[in-house]
């Protein structure tokens, strides 16, 4: 994902598939009722056709819930190439624009809290 600040690699988001738009809207309601921070959506990505919702978990990581769109399983599938002129329309075909945080925030790298030693069971 484009990092507007160019300040190194960061996690943009993790995505989780839901079976239906109803489940996505129910999830948005549950997140909001429990004090969660919704960032953007629901919306529909033009490039995939997926309905999406972005929010932050309590640790500050961005998560995406999505439904519909493309699920691709064949190992020989060839990626679609999108013309750069599609611009922000690829983000949301319903016309909303991503908030500034979507293009600038990423979860910072985690730093180790202790040195691992041989025999710790860490590969």
Beta strand 37-44 pairing with 50-56? antiparallel
Beta strand 14-17 pairing with 37-44? unpaired
pLDDT of res. 2: 59
Each residue's pLDDT tens digit in the chain (123 positions)?
Answer: 556 666 667 888 999 999 999 999 999 999 999 999 999 999 999 888 899 999 999 989 999 999 998 878 889 988 777 777 777 777 888 988 899 999 888 887 777 565 656 665 655
55, with CB counted inside 10 A (0-12, 13-18, 19+), is buried
pLDDT of res. 10: 81
* Dihedral angle computed from the Cα positions of residues 112, 55, 99 and 111, in that order, rounded to the nearest 10 degrees: 0
pLDDT of res. 37: 94
pLDDT of res. 120: 56
Give the predicted TM-score (pTM) of the model: 0.78
Ordered structural domains, the chain, with CATH: 13-70 (3.10.180.10)
pLDDT of res. 104: 86
Q: Give, for 104, the enclosing helix (H) or strand (E).
A: helix 100-104
pLDDT of res. 34: 95
């Amino acid at each position: 994902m484009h990092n507007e600040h160019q300040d190194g690699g960061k996690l943009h988001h993790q995505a989780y598939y839901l079976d239906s738009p109803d489940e996505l809207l129910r999830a948005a309601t549950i997140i909001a009722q429990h004090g969660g921070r919704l960032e953007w959506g629901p919306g529909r990505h033009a490039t995939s056709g997926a309905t999406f919702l972005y929010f932050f978990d309590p640790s500050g990581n961005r998560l995406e819930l999505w439904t519909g769109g493309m699920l691709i399983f064949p190992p020989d599938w060839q990626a679609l190439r999108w013309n750069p002129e599609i611009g922000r329309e690829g983000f949301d075909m319903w016309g909303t624009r991503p908030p500034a945080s979507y293009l600038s925030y990423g979860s910072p790298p985690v730093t180790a809290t202790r040195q691992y030693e041989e025999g710790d069971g860490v590969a």
